[in-house]
Amino acid sequence: MNPWINANVISIKRWNNNLFSLFLNAPIEPFYAGQYTKLSLYDIDASHQKRIQRAYSYLNAPSDKKIEIYIVRIENGKLSNLLYNLNKGDMVFIKKKSFGFFIINEIPDCENLWMFATGTAIGPYLSILQERKNIDRFNNIILIHAVKYQNELIYLPLMKKLHNEYNGKLKIQTVTSREKNINSLTGRIPFLIETKKLEKHIGLSINSKNSHVMLCGNPEMVKDTYSFLIKNRNMIKHLRRKKGNITMENYW
């Protein structure tokens, strides 16, 4: 049984008209970094009480009791707009137990761990990297965050802070798909892998011998990148019953 429980809004940070972070306090059960929860509110416009629910990943480390969730506001999206307009002291429903296997304990040992994210899917990786558990077994961790425009790199300051704290183990690279910027690569992730621009820039290769790839974000990015890697890099999907090189999670 996984009941809904009350979560109190500690604060909300509206980064712009589309992106916001929700900070909550709730007596949830312990979770693993990389897992997700579900949030819910009642549709006030419905003729009868109808619960609207969506899945969202934790951005905070499990050891941080202040829940932090990074959300994109969807045009005409009922729940994201309701959440965007919450205020300090308001209440939202949250699941007591968390979900998912997109966690570091499920990743096999390897030399290079590649973390690919688009948009708000940066959340699970930041949770993992802030928690720092079971992560010493990777020589290099490469965090790639792709957005449309440079001003959508909301958590870049935290990424840079983690980069410094990891003392060379963590490499970060930002990508913008719709504008050129001196600090980011330009293009879609599958294109940057296919042309090897990303690997040349980082100085490491993505291959089946020493790499594991985590894909989280837009389903098209996940599907296209996965397809390229299995066809051109001899990589396979990682399963509990069969060790592989690619772990995926679609994310909106």
Ranges of CATH 3.40.50.80 domains, the chain = 104-250
Ranges of CATH 2.40.30.10 domains, the chain = 4-95
User: What confidence tens digit (pLDDT) does each residue in 15-53 have?
Assistant: 999 999 999 999 999 999 999 999 999 987 765 678 999
User: What confidence tens digit (pLDDT) does each residue in 82-106 have?
Assistant: 999 999 999 999 999 999 999 999 9
CA distance 188 to 178: 9
If one looks up domain 4-95 in CATH, what number appears? 2.40.30.10
Residues 174/183, Cβ–Cβ less than 8 Å: yes
Parallel, antiparallel or unpaired: strands 112-118 and 211-217:
parallel
Q: Does the domain made of 104-250 have the CATH classification 3.40.50.300?
A: no
CA distance 114 to 59: 18
Q: Based on the number of CB atoms within 10 Å of its own CB, is 135 exposed (0-12), middle (13-18) or buried (19 or more)?
A: middle
Q: Based on the number of CB atoms within 10 Å of its own CB, is 109 exposed (0-12), middle (13-18) or buried (19 or more)?
A: exposed
Residue-by-residue pLDDT tens, the chain, 252 positions:
999 999 999 999 999 999 999 999 999 999 999 999 999 999 877 656 789 999 999 999 999 999 999 999 999 889 999 999 999 999 999 999 999 999 999 999 999 999 999 999 999 999 999 999 999 999 999 999 999 999 999 999 999 999 999 999 999 999 999 999 899 999 999 999 999 999 999 999 999 999 999 999 999 999 999 999 999 999 999 998 899 999 998 765
